[in-house]
Structure 1
Amino acid sequence: MTNRTTQVSVHFSRPFLLPDFEAPLPAGEYRVDYDEESIESASRLAWRRVGGFIHLPAIGMPGSLHQMIPIEPAYLAAALEKDQRLP
């Protein structure tokens, strides 16, 4: 089985809260790393997300401490969807 990490940027228009976080995170652009493992079949190669990390603080935000915090990809996807639905 092969593993890989992909990095994406996600944008929140307003503060958001993820489970296991004590306080809302500010609106902004965030780097997210997804750990994926291969799913091999006879016809093609596919990837399944098995974990994720969000980089704090947001891109361009001041802060002397930079962290990678584990997140559940489904929770991040739900927070992004909620952010896009709100006016």
Structure 2
Amino acid sequence: MAIRTTRTQVTFCSPFSLPELDGDQPAGTYEIETDEEAVEGNERTVYVRVATLLHIHSPGSTRTVTIDPAGLAAALERDAAIGTSVIGP
């Protein structure tokens, strides 16, 4: 089964939280990886999301956490209501 990985970045202008994380995370730019599995059909191939990963960099270490994409979207919406958040390539 083929897996494709898409890498993007999100920028939070304010501290944020996600259910999968302990406590608030500082404002900043975070890397997101989305893994999708290819499902081949008769006429076309579709991709189904199998994991969304958030990379948290801190001095001397990087932590990778599997997150719910809906929770990330909600956190970005909350951040946008407070200030301006950015989703980039």
**Same fold, TM-score > 0.5, yes or no:** yes
Gaps of 5+ in 2: 84-89
Aligned pairs (5 A) from 1:17-36: 17-36=17-36
| 8 Å Cα contact 2:54-2:67 kept in structure 1 | yes
What's the counterpart of residue 70 of structure 2?
74
Q: Give yes or no for contact 1:56–1:66 (8 Å, CA) kept in 2.
A: yes
TM-score under structure 2 length normalisation: 0.78
Contact kept, 8 Å, 1:49 with 1:73, in 2: the verdict is no
Q: Does 1:5 align with 2:1?
A: no
Q: RMSD of the alignment, in Å?
A: 1.7
Shift of 1:42: 4.4
CA distance in 2, matches of 1:44, 1:84: 36
Distance 2:6 2:80 in 1: 23
Which has the higher relative contact order, 1 or 2, with Cα contacts under 8 A spaced 6 or more apart?
Answer: 2
Q: Given residue 56 of structure 1, which amino acid in structure 2 is its aligned partner? A: I
- The percentage of aligned residue pairs carrying the same residue is 39
- Select which of 72, 81, 84 maps to 2:80: 84
Structure 1 runs (4+) greater than 6 angstroms displaced? none
- TM-score after normalising by structure 1: 0.79
Q: Which runs of 5+ in 1 are unaligned?
A: none
